[in-house]
Each structure stands twice: as structure tokens, then as C-alpha cells.
């Protein structure tokens, strides 16, 4: 499916980060976890390579996940953005479309939904 692509996971719930990271690693991806936007920004700045994709939660302690998209795209505009959120209304999906999000996954999610997203995005 891939050649060990790099994926950033941003979610303030450590259990979600761990679950998603384990799913990604089982699919032979490399996963970096962040629990806040500030932490994710530091990882993006200091990471030696660009990220092929990012799973981004919307509701975070230091802001809205949409705020990270421009930072990711600034480093590499090819980075695929996947929103993972319990907030799955028309407003959120509309904003996601405006922001250029590539895929939207509602919480709770499972390995099948993650795999479908990765396959859809050809990662």
C-alpha cells in the first residue's frame, strides 16, 4: 500500500492518538502524535521530512484543528488532510470543504474507516 509514508496525528485524547497510531503502524505507516496545535506546529517545523497526510481533530484545547491546515500545506501542499471529529454537522463539513480538507471521518471510527480513507487518498 505504501513505502512507509509519514502521517501526523493531532488529537487531544491520548487514547485516540494511540489507537490511530497503532492502526497506522499496523498498515506500515510512520505516525507522529501531537495533543495540541502548538505541539503539532513544533513537530511540523522540526520533522526532517514532510508529512504525506495528517489526521486532525477539530476541537482542541488551544484552538480549532482547521488552524493547523495552512501550516501543513505551507511545508508541503501535497499533504493530505483528514479530519477526525465527533462534530459532524453541515457547518463542520462545509468549513472542511472551504479549507481544502481531503477526507472527513466521524468519531467513533474503526480500522476499516481509516483504511478506506487511506485507500481513497491513494496513500
Residues near 8 by beta carbon (within 8 Å), at least 6 away in sequence = 31, 32, 33, 34, 40, 43, 44, 51, 53, 54, 55, 56, 72
Is 3.40.640.10 the CATH number for 6-120? no
Can you say whether residue 79 is alpha, beta or left, with left for phi > 0 and alpha for psi between -120 and 50 degrees?
beta
| Predicted local confidence at residue 1, as pLDDT | 45
pLDDT for 4 equals: 87
The pLDDT of residue 27 is 95
Give the three cell numbers for residue 77: 501542499
pTM attached to this predicted model: 0.94
Q: Which residues of the chain have pLDDT under 50?
A: 1-2
Amino acid at each position: 500500500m505504501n513505502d512507509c509514508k509519514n502521517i501526523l496525528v493531532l488529537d487531544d485524547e491520548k487514547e485516540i492518538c494511540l489507537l490511530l497510531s497503532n492502526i497506522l503502524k499496523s498498515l506500515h505507516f510512520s505516525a507522529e502524535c501531537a495533543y495540541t496545535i502548538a505541539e503539532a506546529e513544533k513537530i511540523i517545523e522540526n520533522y526532517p521530512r514532510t508529512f504525506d497526510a495528517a489526521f486532525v481533530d477539530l476541537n482542541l484545547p488551544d484552538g480549532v484543528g482547521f488552524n493547523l491546515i495552512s501550516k501543513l500545506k505551507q511545508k508541503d501542499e501535497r499533504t493530505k488532510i483528514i479530519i477526525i471529529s465527533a462534530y459532524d454537522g453541515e457547518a463542520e463539513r462545509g468549513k472542511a470543504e472551504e479549507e481544502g480538507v481531503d477526507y472527513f471521518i466521524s468519531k467513533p471510527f474503526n480500522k476499516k474507516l481509516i483504511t478506506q480513507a487511506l485507500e481513497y487518498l491513494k496513500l
